[in-house]
Chain A
Amino acid sequence: MRSKLASFCRIVAALGLALPALPLAAAEFKLAATHTLEDSGLLATLIPAFEAASGVKVRLAIGGTGQVIRLAANGDVDAVMSHVKAQEEQLVASGAGLKRHAVAFNDFLIAGPPQDPARIRGLQDAVEVMRRIRAAKARFISRGDESGTHVKERELWRAAGLEPRWAGYMSAGVGMGRVLMMAGEMQAYTLSDRATFAAFRARTGLELLAAGDARLYNEYGVVAVNPARFPGINADAAARFVSWLTSAEAQRLIAGFRIGGQQVFFAPAKAR
């Protein structure tokens, strides 16, 4: 019994001495990002690459656009990635963020059941798509959570001059992946970003029915939080992340990211 206690103490002491030797230089970098970046699987590719290149450990917080923007606005994270340019620029304008950088773009699309009861297959006009879905009173699932996708969806309803309120319109407050799963279960339409749709396509049985409208353009941006406003921020790591993300290496990774053999993210330099 005594020798067991002694060896236990020895192990604890050894650990205690070893701990300071662990790389303290790997201070944590808190990054907030939206659901769509996570659900598509892009972050799973980018984050480890960044950690390997910089030696910085990334702490990832995922949420809807509203939530992640708020995290940045409160200084709860060091940097934020989302896909609502207006909100990102608002962060900078309010002084909570340093500068907005475009990272990648892709587009939204309307997915739905193969039977396509609203007859929207192949349409290029996104507003017409919404009109037809409404007219057919087809089932439609909305993110309903102030996310970038939801914001885009609302824009489309506004452009169509329609109030989305009918028996089949469901406002589910969950992430994009889950909404796609639900749409699959209930054979409903939904607005989704291309990447998440591609990632979930096999599981949902939904089809890409309409895309290509310029209004469905979806740009992702990154903003580092302002250390002057929030002194405790890991500004160094944030700066390194932003410059890495906009570097050629990262851009190559983003362009090379494939889902089902298809490219789903495009470099912003090719943007309009």
Chain B
Amino acid sequence: MDILASTRQAFALLFSGDAELWTIIWISLRVSLTALALATPPAVILGYALAQKRFFGRRILVVLIQGLLSFPTVVVGLILYILLTRQGPLGSWQLLFTQEAMIMGQAVIAFPVLAAFALAAVQGADPRAHETAVSLGASPLRAALTTLLEVRFAVVAGVFNGFGRVISEVGCAMMVGGNIAGVTRNIPTAIALETSKGDFAQGIALGVVLMLFALGISITLGLLQGRGGLK
């Protein structure tokens, strides 16, 4: 069965430092990490605000975020495509089929995950934490940062979860990225391509990398849970 041969080839590719392979991995990491970096601050702020403040429309927002958690990524891709296409409202930006478009898509996909985790984290925080901060003279901003720091493990768990969701996402990446070699071809879109070419070695190699990422995320999340700060 040539699957075995392909698998052996796959590991050879990985360890030989095959330039094409590692470019794909690098693009995957660059896009996903940038997306997370962009999405995390506003998401955490939103999660904090939803947990601590009472304002009109709060419940709706919370329900919305939780609904968006499993929003189909292809639809995100579709909406983004419509916005970025030449005839679309943002067409003049010429962002379609660029890494920037992929970053935008992944940031949107990760946002609800990050916000939901931040919300849960702050809700699960010891109320005395915020009270102590305020009582000692912290401004609302400082008290907010302190509270978030106190539940940092839970918030970071959200980041890891968000990473897991975007690193292996293919629908949106394909649509707005176009799977262009060396530019917008990341791990999941490359796997899709290799499979359609009938060439499994690279696909398997990339699949192994993805599985390692997933494993790494699970292990880290498990460690974080043990460390405490999570309720």
So, do A and B actually touch in the complex, CB under 8 Å?
A: yes
Contact surface of A with B, Cβ cutoff 8 Å: 63-64, 66-67, 69-70, 141, 144-146, 170-174, 178, 182, 184-186
Of B178, B190, B196, B199, chain A has the most CB atoms within 10 Å of the CB of B196
Check if B97 sits within 8 Å of A173, measured CB to CB. Answer: no
Residues of A within 8 A of B86 (CB): 184-185
Of A70, A141, A171, A172, chain B has the most CB atoms within 10 Å of the CB of A172
Shortest C-beta distance, B27 to chain A (Å), equals: 13
Q: Looking at the complex, which one of B178, B181, B182, B198 makes contact with A178 (CB distance below 8 Å)? A: B178
Q: Looking at the complex, which one of B85, B97, B180, B196 makes contact with A171 (CB distance below 8 Å)? A: B180
**Helix, strand, loop or mixed for chain A's interface?**
mixed
Whole-angstrom CA separation of A178 from B195 in the bound complex: 17
Counting from the closest, the 7 A-B pairs by CB-CB distance are A173-B193, A70-B198, A171-B181, A66-B198, A173-B179, A66-B197, A146-B197
Check if B180 sits within 8 Å of A64, measured CB to CB. Answer: no
Residue of B nearest to A187 (CB): B86
Whole-angstrom CA separation of A188 from B197 in the bound complex: 24
Check if B198 sits within 8 Å of A173, measured CB to CB. Answer: no
Residue of A nearest to B194 (CB): A173
Of A67, A144, A173, A186, chain B has the most CB atoms within 10 Å of the CB of A173
Check if B181 sits within 8 Å of A145, measured CB to CB. Answer: no
Contact surface of B with A, Cβ cutoff 8 Å: 85-86, 96-97, 174, 178-183, 185, 189-190, 192-193, 195-199
Shortest C-beta distance, B150 to chain A (Å), equals: 46
Residues of B within 8 A of A145 (CB): 193, 196-197
* Sampled A-B contacts (24; CB under 8 Å): A64-B196, A64-B197, A66-B197, A67-B195, A67-B196, A67-B197, A144-B193, A145-B197, A170-B181, A171-B180, A171-B181, A172-B97, A172-B179, A172-B180, A172-B181, A173-B189, A173-B197, A174-B178, A174-B179, A182-B178, A185-B86, A185-B97, A186-B96, A186-B97
Whole-angstrom CA separation of A186 from B174 in the bound complex: 16
Residues of B within 8 A of A186 (CB): 96-97
Check if A170 sits within 8 Å of B183, measured CB to CB. Answer: yes
Whole-angstrom CA separation of A146 from B198 in the bound complex: 9
Whole-angstrom CA separation of A141 from B96 in the bound complex: 14
Residues of A within 8 A of B85 (CB): 185
Shortest C-beta distance, B193 to chain A (Å), equals: 3
Residues of A within 8 A of B179 (CB): 172-174
Whole-angstrom CA separation of A173 from B203 in the bound complex: 13
Shortest C-beta distance, B88 to chain A (Å), equals: 10
Residues of A within 8 A of B185 (CB): 173
Of B96, B183, B198, chain A has the most CB atoms within 10 Å of the CB of B198
Whole-angstrom CA separation of A69 from B174 in the bound complex: 24
Residues of B within 8 A of A184 (CB): 86
Whole-angstrom CA separation of A171 from B181 in the bound complex: 5
Shortest C-beta distance, A115 to chain B (Å), equals: 14
Whole-angstrom CA separation of A174 from B174 in the bound complex: 9
Whole-angstrom CA separation of A144 from B189 in the bound complex: 13
Residue of B nearest to A141 (CB): B180
Check if B197 sits within 8 Å of A170, measured CB to CB. Answer: no
